[in-house]
Amino acid sequence: MAKDLVNTLADLKEQEAIKIAKDRLSAGEDPLKILEDAKKGMEIVGQRFASSEYFIPDLVYSGEILKAVTELVKPRLTKTAESKKLGKIVFGTVAGDIHDIGKDIVVFMLDVNGFEVHDLGVDVPVQKFVDKIKETGAPIVGLSGFLALAFDSMKETVEAIKAAGLRDKVKVMIGGGQMSDEIKNYTGADAYGKDAMAGVTLAKKWIGAS
């Protein structure tokens, strides 16, 4: 019988994946191992997205399946299952903009890929970003914005980080609706990500380099 959670999740077979997780739990298997397999499945999802085999709905659906499996497993975890995190990231949709779907997808993918993400939500005032960077010591900042007004908020946020003497301690990535090198230069960010996996790749590159 196929107990392959990794590929069942990667293939987005929702009912099968949940059943496998349930069966393995009933069989007394270590819940942590089940969670690890689920995350391995998510890595494959991420790779398929990066190679344009999967698209946004597949990412969102895989997130739902992972959530269902995690909910089954969590009550059975006997100790704090904190796997070592790759690094900290402060993330948020900039001041004046309340769009969250894109941000949530990127935050989710970063989390699944081993980052400790501090998601500040939407319409985040400039100072809140600065305060969180100071508090967490995060080396990476992600600024999301969908509307054109976000360009100025991103620029102001980067300037505030600089004014706080933190600019050389962080790498800033931006993303959202209307991104380009022109916008990146205008805002003073280090890079822009055109989609969730680009954001993950950037974060891994920056963490590896630091």
Partner 1 sequence: MEKKWEEMTSDEKQETLFQRWISAEGVKFASPEAEKLYKERTTRFKNALQLKTLPDRIPVFLIPSLAPAYYAGLTPHDVMYNYEKITPTWKKFYMDFQPDAHGGAFVPSPGKFLEIVDFKLYKWPGHGVSKETTYQCIEGEYMRADEYDFFIHNVLYFFNNVWPSRVFGALEPLGMLPHLAGVTEMYGVSLPFIPYGTPPVQAALKALMEAGNEAVKWIGAAGAFGMEIIAEGFPAYQVGVTKAPFDVIGDTLRGTKGIMMDMYRQPDKLIAAMEVLMPTFIKLGVDSAKQYGCPLIFMPLHKGADGFLSDEQFKKFYWPTFRDIILGLVDEGVVPFIWAEGGYNSRLEVIQDLPKGKTAWLFDQTDMARAKKTIGKVACIAGNMPMDMLTVGSTQEAIDYTKRLIDVCGKDGGYILANGAFFDEVKWDNLRAIVDTVKKFGVYK
Interface region with partner 1, contact rule CB under 8 A, candidates 24-32, 39-47, 148-156, 202-210: 148-156
| Alpha-carbon span 186 to 189, nearest angstrom | 8
Q: Is 111 in the site for partner 1 (CB under 8 A)?
A: no
How many residues line the site for partner 1 (CB under 8 A)? 27
Does 61 interact with partner 1 (rule: CB under 8 A)?
yes
Q: How far is CA 18 from the centre of its chain?
A: 23
The contacts of residue 119 (CB under 8 Å, 6+ apart) are 91, 92, 103, 107
Q: What is the DSSP letter of 52?
A: T
Which one among 23, 55, 71, 210 touches partner 1, defined by CB under 8 A? 55
Q: Which residues, numbered 22-51, are part of the site for partner 1 (CB under 8 A)?
A: none
- Which residue, 93 or 113, is less far from partner 1 as judged by CB? 93
Binding mask 151-180 for partner 1 (x = CB under 8 A): x-------------------------xx-x
State how far the Cα of 91 lies from the Cα of 172, in Å rounded to an integer.
Answer: 10
In this chain, which of 33, 77, 85, 101 binds partner 1, going by CB under 8 A? 101
Contacts of residue 123, Cβ cutoff 8 Å, sequence gap at least 6: 93, 94, 95, 96, 97, 98
